[in-house]
Amino acid sequence: MRRHARERTDLLARGLHRSDYAPVAPSCATAVRQRPLPAAPRSSMSLVAARYEEEDDVIAGLRSPRKQLPCRLLYADGGAELFERICTLDAYYPTRTELALLEQHLPQIAHHVGPCARVIEPGSGEGKKTRMLLHALDRPSSYVPIDIAHDQLQRMAVSLRAELPGLEIEPVTADYGAPFEIPVPQHAFKRTLVYFPGSTIGNFEPAAARTFLARLGELAGPDRLLLLGADATRDPEVLRRAYDDELGVTAAFDKNILAHLNRARGADFDLAAFTHRAVWNAAASRVEMHLVSQRRQVVHLGREPIAFAAGEPIVTEHCYKHTPAAMHALLATAGWRPRQVFTAATTPFRLWLCEPIARNR
């Protein structure tokens, strides 16, 4: 999870549900200081096909036959902090599993990356795994965290500067699904590592995932590596506990998107009139998150009336689970191939260290 849509109608009393709806998902160590590089324009980069315009995609999503909201808004107005709480839950296995993989394999990863690397991380969050990576690398040159949660991003940057005073840190507050600029580094670097942990790739629809991974390659340049976390868990009970926790933290995270629209867009969502539920869609190999209307109601978004039937869901996030075969195929179509794959012992969660596919000229 970090980021895509969950849907449901009940077949089980609680937990993961099959759905009668079939929505389209929301598109939501110390460095050696080198001589500064020559001045150059900041590089502009869009990582998905189309730019998001909040005024358009919120209204359009709620007006669509299968209502949906852009999952990036889950992280606004305290949502990022709620997600960090989710990551501490015993039932939320991806974070715990990935941390164990990193602890075990970081020396090998650092060997592949080599010295004086630039690290770019879309969706950086609080940065616990990032700290582990940066401390393990040999004299990393610079770090570019990209995240929509500005306050959290700045706190993390301040903390990292204190820990790694020679490391150039250039935080970018942006939705990495929209065009944004990458600062030109002032420290020389030997290669770029794009770090995309947390199985976040599962939050993209397949076509968008291909586009995203291909554009990560364009962003990183010719001498690049990609370190990617991906989950292949398909056990419905394990997924139910992870995406619909008994403490209600995931429900609060999901409903936060409605609270954000109330504050930012003048909407009048009654949060008590919507229930969070998670659906395991085995055919599509994804968990789907929904907010389900508990009654017939009309919600206003500014001047726009939005009618809901009782039991009608809003899709807020998809979380695809990628088998090894599916991940190999996805990477290949995006111009990457695995250099080494690290697999967890307890769950089918993997870290994929990837390099670009050599193209014939």
Summary mean pLDDT of the chain: 84
**Angle, to 10 degrees, between the axis of helix 236-243 and the axis of helix 93-113?**
90
The closest of 238, 237, 228 to 334, measured between CA atoms, is 228
Confidence band, pLDDT 50/70/90 cuts, at residue 9: very low
CA-CA-CA-CA torsion for 60, 63, 68, 74, nearest 10 degrees?
60
Look at residue 355 and tell me whether its pLDDT is greater than 60. Answer: yes
pLDDT tens, position by position, 27-81: 432 222 233 333 333 444 444 433 344 557 899 999 999 999 998 899 888 898 9
Distances (CA, A) of 249 to 23, 125, 200: 24, 17, 19
C-alpha to C-alpha distance for 310 and 212, rounded to whole angstroms: 36
Look at residue 15 and tell me whether its pLDDT is greater than 90. Answer: no
Q: Which amino acid makes up residue 194?
A: V
Mean pLDDT throughout 270-295?
97
| pLDDT score at 267 | 96
**More confident position, 54 or 184:** 184
Three-state secondary-structure class, residue 113: helix
| pLDDT score at 123 | 82
The closest of 192, 153, 180 to 169, measured between CA atoms, is 153
C-alpha to C-alpha distance for 92 and 198, rounded to whole angstroms: 11
Domain 93-233+322-356 in CATH 3.40.50.150: yes
Q: Please state the φ and ψ torsions of residue 304, each to the nearest 5 degrees.
A: -90, 115
Look at residue 140 and tell me whether its pLDDT is greater than 70. Answer: yes
Contacts (Cβ under 8 Å, ≥6 apart) of 28: 3, 4, 52, 57, 69, 70, 71, 72, 73, 74, 175, 177, 317
pLDDT tens, position by position, 141-178: 999 999 877 888 899 999 999 999 999 999 998 877 67
What number of other Cβ atoms are within 10 A of residue 295's Cβ? 11
Mean pLDDT throughout 96-102?
93
Mean pLDDT throughout 221-230?
93
| pLDDT score at 282 | 96
| pLDDT score at 28 | 38
Q: Which amino acid makes up residue 272?
A: A
C-alpha to C-alpha distance for 308 and 299, rounded to whole angstroms: 8
Look at residue 343 and tell me whether its pLDDT is greater than 50. Answer: yes
Contacts (Cβ under 8 Å, ≥6 apart) of 72: 3, 28, 52, 148, 175, 177
| pLDDT score at 360 | 54
What number of other Cβ atoms are within 10 A of residue 46's Cβ? 17
Look at residue 220 and tell me whether its pLDDT is greater than 90. Answer: no
Give, in degrees to the nearest 5, the angle at Cα 150 between 196 and 219: 40
Contacts (Cβ under 8 Å, ≥6 apart) of 214: 334, 335
**More confident position, 335 or 345:** 335
Look at residue 252 and tell me whether its pLDDT is greater than 60. Answer: yes
Look at residue 296 and tell me whether its pLDDT is greater than 60. Answer: yes
Distances (CA, A) of 209 to 30, 44, 179, 214, 324: 33, 19, 16, 8, 15
Of 11-25, 69-83, 228-242, 263-277, the poorest mean pLDDT is in: 11-25
DSSP H or E run through 118: strand 117-122
The closest of 320, 318, 319, 316 to 62, measured between CA atoms, is 316
Residue boundaries of the structural domains of the chain: 49-78+236-320, 93-233+322-356
Look at residue 132 and tell me whether its pLDDT is greater than 50. Answer: yes
Query: Given its phi and psi angles, is residue 114 left (phi above 0), alpha (psi -120 to 50 degrees) or beta?
Result: left
